[in-house]
Amino acid sequence: MSEAPVLVLNAGSSSLKYQLLVPETAEVQAKGIVERIGEAESPVADHAAAMQMMEDDFAAAGVDLDTVGLRAVGHRVVHGGPDFSDPTVIDDDVLDEIKDLIPLAPLHNPGAVSGIEAARAEFDVPHVAIFDTAFFSTLPPAAATYAIPRDLAQKYRIRRYGFHGTSHQYVSRAAAELVGRDLGELNQIVLHLGNGCSASAIRGGVAVETSMGLTPLQGLVMGTRSGDVDPGLHTFLHNELGMSIGDIDTLLNKQSGLKGMAGVNDFRELEERRATGDEAAQLAFDVYVHRLKHYVGAYLALLGRLDVLSFTAGVGENNAALRVAVVDGLDSLGFQVDPELNNARSKVARAVSADGAPIKIAVVPTNEELAIARETAALLESRSD
Ligand code: ADP
């Protein structure tokens, strides 16, 4: 049983990412992605067709899903709403509850629902939902509550949920292992900097703050998302330009962030432009760093003491200059980078702070698929006890 693989599915509105892996050994047996699902002139009509393509892909790689001894399917679900705070075995009722959350995540949950339905029809094994919001269900009310009318917030479940939780949890645990201390005694900040970006403050393994909110739009500057703006901006854009709410949503989610400021959403391209003296690229970098500092300082104040600051995801793991910029000038607060460690390229978790510095600064590669596979396996094992 223990060597049997788990299939991890991350179904978006028009894509299906899949990975077949063994939770105990982290061995990846096959992985891939189907894109353009349901788009005009795409050969992939729906998620059921995508599932078929995935199986063909596995077969071509020599993996027969019918005979491989599949243990379970773990589904990434972006929004778990107020009630899903743990991995959950999916039955018809759970699927209905996930559908009921679609108004909270109209861009994300419909894809997950289609993926779950297609996978349940195909694979007669336990299906488990792993929610991106779950790790942040522990946010104290003072952090989770928006200062809007109480009745409205309660009726429509309007609160700060946070996202990327699987990654923040995985990285904070791996960081505790890296520094060789108990998770329970550590105050941590994790910066997940990929296309989407989020920060979290974690006390003793429990999340107490995060930068994303009701939706993944709040907080840090991202590839194409603005992160924090004055909510009055919506009124201004509507009054002055006649923009609709839909237009504004698209503007802030798809045309803002690094792309909006500098024309490119990929951080590597941004760095290439910055190196040529491109003023817009430099300003975009500066805004990105300024916002990060703002959050790191705020979380330091919330935690009262910080033990570990971790960088993860594409930008956090790979961009040494960015890591230096985030803690530049903060020596007196305990942040000291060792330039040699910071510049060394590596795929494994490592400390990049100066020896003896009060705060450990770490680079910890995230692995959401492995985390989902492990949580899926752990839930099923706990149920069979
Ligand atoms: P996603 O949020 O889609 O999972 P990733 O974690 O893969 O995104 O991060 C994507 C971002 O990471 C892009 O902006 C990309 O430029 C950046 N990135 C990836 N590899 C590198 C690298 N080697 N050096 C600098 N930036 C990188």
pLDDT in tens, 340-351: 999 999 999 999
Ligand 1 centroid – CA 299 distance (Å):
24
Better-scored residue on pLDDT, 129 or 384:
129
CB distance 268 to ligand 1 below 6 Å: yes
57: annotated active-site residue: no
Task: Report percent pLDDT > 70 for the chain.
Answer: 99
pLDDT in tens, 153-190: 999 999 999 999 999 999 999 999 999 999 999 999 99
Report if pTM > 0.85. yes
Per DSSP, 354 falls in state P
What order do you get walking across the sheet with 197-203 strand by strand?
206-210, 197-203, 187-193, 308-312, 360-363, 350-351
Q: For residue 41, is it left (φ>0), alpha (ψ between -120 and 50) or beta? A: left
Local confidence band at 107 (pLDDT 50, 70, 90 cut-offs): confident
Q: Are 369 and 375 in contact (CB under 8 A)?
A: no
Calculate mean pLDDT across residues 50-55.
95
Q: Is pLDDT of 1 > 60?
A: no
Q: Are 70 and 114 in contact (CB under 8 A)?
A: no
Q: Is pLDDT of 198 > 80?
A: yes
pLDDT in tens, 267-292: 999 999 999 999 999 999 999 999 99
Q: How far is CA 213 from CA 194, 199, 207, in A?
A: 17, 11, 14
Mean pLDDT, the chain, as a whole number?
A: 96
Ligand 1 centroid – CA 225 distance (Å):
15
Rounded Cα distance, 33 and 283, in Å: 34
CB distance 249 to ligand 1 below 6 Å: no
How far is the first Cα of the chain from the last one, in angstroms, to the nearest whole number?
A: 14
Ligand 1 centroid – CA 265 distance (Å):
10
Task: Output the pLDDT for position 383.
Answer: 87
Alpha carbons within 13 angstroms on the beta-carbon side of residue 287 total 24
Q: How far is CA 296 from CA 261, 299, 308, in A?
A: 22, 5, 11
Could you give the angle at the alpha carbon of 260 between the alpha carbons of 256 and 265, nearest 5°? 90
Under 8 Å CB-to-CB from 27, ≥6 apart: which residues?
21
Q: How far is CA 327 from CA 55, 195, 299, 305, 323, in A?
A: 46, 21, 14, 16, 7
Task: Output the pLDDT for position 2.
Answer: 56
The continuous run of DSSP H or E covering 75 comes out as strand 72-77
Q: Is pLDDT of 217 > 60?
A: yes
Per DSSP, 337 falls in state B
Atom 12 (ligand 1): residue with closest C-alpha?
A: 314
Q: Are 225 and 196 in contact (CB under 8 A)?
A: yes
Ligand 1 centroid – CA 193 distance (Å):
8
Report the sign of the C-alpha dihedral through residues 117, 121, 123, 125, in that order.
Answer: positive
Task: Output the pLDDT for position 385.
Answer: 72
Calculate mean pLDDT across residues 114-139.
97
From 132, 264, 318, 324, mutation site for ligand 1 pocket: most ligand atoms within 8 A of C-beta: 318
On the 0-12 / 13-18 / 19+ scale of CB atoms within 10 A, 237 is middle
Buried b / exposed e along 330-365 (16+ C-beta atoms within 10 A): beeebbbbeeebbeeeeeebebbbbeebebbbbbbb
Q: Is pLDDT of 65 > 60?
A: yes
Under 8 Å CB-to-CB from 343, ≥6 apart: which residues?
320
CB distance 12 to ligand 1 below 6 Å: no
CB distance 269 to ligand 1 below 6 Å: no
Instruction: Give the dihedral of Cα atoms 104, 107, 108, 113; nearest 10 deg.
Output: 90
Paired with 9 in beta bridges are 18, 75
Instruction: Find the catalytic residue in 132, 249, 338, 355.
Output: 132
Q: Is pLDDT of 227 > 60?
A: yes
Q: How far is CA 2 from CA 69, 76, 123, in A?
A: 10, 22, 19
Under DSSP, is residue 226 helix (H, G, I), strand (E, B) or coil?
A: coil
